[in-house]
Structure 1
Amino acid sequence: MEIVLAGASGLIGTALADSLRADGHRVKQLVRGGAASGPDVDRWDPAAGRVDPTFLAGADAVVCLSGVGVGDRRWNDDYKRLIRQSRVDTVGTLARSLAEHGGPRVLVAASAVGYYGDTGDHVVDESSPSGTSFLAGVCRDWEAAADPARSAGVRVVHLRTGLVLAKDAELVKRLRLVTKAGAGGRLGSGRQFMPWIALVDEVRAIRFLLDRSDLDGPFDLTAPNPVRNVDFTRTLGRLLHRPTPWAVPAFAARAVLGEFAGEVLTGQRALPKRLEEAGFEFRHRDLEPALQDVLG
């Protein structure tokens, strides 16, 4: 199989590329900065809507995982615009190229469980409506950007991913550092759900969806057992042999994180209904063994 991958330098993209290559598949990369080197790397400019259709031609699928980190910087109007554009422009550029010039008949594009907004204790799955938060709106536009490819008969899959657990995941590294220092604790009420997935299952699920020609549309890439923030914190503390007695009040989170605090103080009780109905089997269904694996 030949895969064109955008976002190959990120956590998920790196792991996916390594997994595919280990099994003998060819991975070609689209990059935005620096000089392209070799026949399997090509530059593109999604902000300008430019990608070379000849680089896509002949591949079996395109996977787009591009997007700046939502928690990398304090939000202001410019960064919120970048969050949206780095997602919508990338998927839209690829979708329009596939619709206008042909090429791979499969487009697998990242999305997020933020699509559902704050769901409280209510269970949601792929049939549930979108929320009203900023990130929910970004996810709607992100998924809609693939419409030109879908209308042209391309099989389109949306990956509504939760919190990815991996030793190199930035959030995991931060939480581990804080907890080991004895300063771990819940965020706000701690009752918000954290839909999570182990990196190994994220990669396995993407490959599962690449292989299954009968599957399209949105899929929740989350483990079957989402946990509340307070339970996540306690589990991490127990595995690191540290107490987690503290709490970050909502007002303090808003003072530090600004508008982004509204996203981390809320959550989604999202379940991977369509993945499990399709026969996907998770390696990590429960949080504690998944975190044990991540923490080594």
Structure 2
Amino acid sequence: MKSMLLTGGTGLIGRHLIKKLKDQYDITVVTRDPSRALRLLGNDIKAIAMDDIDSLDSYDAIVNLAGEPIADKRWSDAQKERICQSRWQITERLVAMINQAQDKPDVFISGSAIGYYGRQDDTPITEDFKDFHEEFSRTVCAKWEDIANTASIRTCVLRTGVVLSDDGGALSKMLMPFRLGLGGPIGDGKQFMSWIHIDDMVRGIQFLLENDQCSGPFNFTSPKPASNAFFAHKLCQRLDRPCIFTTPTFAVKALMGESSELVIYGQKVIPMRLENAGFNFSFPVLADALAALDLR
């Protein structure tokens, strides 16, 4: 059985990835609290603190998904620093260990986000897009990727959109007002929301692990991004609730501060490189993706 070192294993994507790959990989999760990780993830995995890793010689794959949640708290200067360093520092340490390894892993898969592009309008954005909007999310992702790309092995970077799941993530945070019939678009709803179903997220990572011709950045989003208004409408339909309210942008800004830019603005991101490599999405259409989730 192959072996994998995984950071961010207790997060949404990490948990689902473990379920998907635990029969194919001997998975070791890097965590600040190994006993808690074992309680959450079960005994199918191993758990270890970063400081207790001697080398990466025994691993076939390194998957780096660690990072402070970017939208859970207002962006104070201290929170911004936590967001940055929780991504940059562990990536720097992993890359250093990869480059020092004698028997190097085959592949390094490292997280990023579509925030790499900064806020955009309705221009379709592939991995070749270069007209970036400089803002905090762009700063975080650009340096995160730059660090990852110094690894001396095949490296894939995941520019991830909004991950749709029924057991955590962004969707769980927005469900309550929609369930109460109070949900609706933010502002004029024209901003694009590039999303991906959790099953396609983990299948996409598996695809990159198994296809050694794949390297570089990959947009992890559905090929059919939706406007915020369309997303709200489809979510209301899924929950059998009305879609008659809107949330003013000033209210979102008052609640979230600077981090409100993540929902007020958007990007129309297309997964060109994944599709060109031969990956087929199970849930390219939003209505089907929502229907496949348990939203009770």
Please state whether the residue corresponding to 2:150 is helix, strand or coil. Answer: helix
Partner of 1:75: 75
Distance 1:292 1:17 in 2: 24
Query: Do structure 1's residue 58 and structure 2's residue 58 form an aligned pair?
Result: yes
Partner of 1:29: 29
Distance 1:204 1:68 in 2: 23
**TM-score scaled by structure 2?**
0.92
Distance 1:90 1:282 in 2: 30
Q: Verify the 8 A CA contact 2:64 2:110 in the aligned structure 1.
A: yes
Partner of 1:131: 133
CA drift at 1:41: 2.1
| 1:3-52 alpha-carbon deviations (Å, 9 max, x no partner) | 1111100010010011111x3321111112355979932211xxxxx562
Distance 1:131 1:274 in 2: 22
Please state whether the residue corresponding to 2:112 is helix, strand or coil. Answer: strand
Q: Verify the 8 A CA contact 1:51 1:93 in the aligned structure 2.
A: no
CA RMSD of aligned residues (A): 1.7
**Between 24-33 and 200-209, the greater mean CA deviation after superposition:** 24-33
Counterpart of 1:10, as a letter, is: G
Q: How does 1:200-219 map to 2 (within 5 A)?
A: 200-219=199-218
Gaps of 5+ in 1: 45-49
* Distance of aligned partners of 1:142 and 1:51 in 2 relative to their CA distance in 1, 3 Å threshold: farther
Counterpart of 2:200, as a letter, is: D
**TM-score scaled by structure 1?**
0.92
The alignment-based identity, stated in percent, is 35
Q: Verify the 8 A CA contact 2:60 2:107 in the aligned structure 1.
A: yes
Distance 2:233 2:150 in 1: 45
Counterpart of 1:224, as a letter, is: P
Partner of 1:167: 166
Distance 1:88 1:24 in 2: 29
Distance 1:10 1:88 in 2: 17
Partner of 1:252: 251
Partner of 2:191: 192
Partner of 1:122: 123
Please state whether the residue corresponding to 1:215 is helix, strand or coil. Answer: coil
Distance 1:143 1:106 in 2: 15
Query: Do structure 1's residue 40 and structure 2's residue 46 form an aligned pair?
Result: yes
Please state whether the residue corresponding to 1:220 is helix, strand or coil. Answer: strand
Partner of 2:150: 148
Partner of 1:47: none
Q: Verify the 8 A CA contact 2:114 2:159 in the aligned structure 1.
A: yes
Counterpart of 2:256, as a letter, is: L
Q: Verify the 8 A CA contact 2:222 2:285 in the aligned structure 1.
A: yes
Q: Which runs of 4+ in 1 moved over 4 A?
A: 34-39
Counterpart of 2:92, as a letter, is: G
Partner of 1:90: 90
| 1:177-202 alpha-carbon deviations (Å, 9 max, x no partner) | 11111110111221110000000000
Counterpart of 1:190, as a letter, is: G
Partner of 2:234: 235
Partner of 2:99: 99
Please state whether the residue corresponding to 1:214 is helix, strand or coil. Answer: coil
Partner of 2:280: 281
Partner of 2:260: 261
Distance 2:59 2:235 in 1: 42
Counterpart of 2:97, as a letter, is: S
CA drift at 1:53: 3.6
Distance 1:233 1:163 in 2: 14
Gaps of 5+ in 2: none
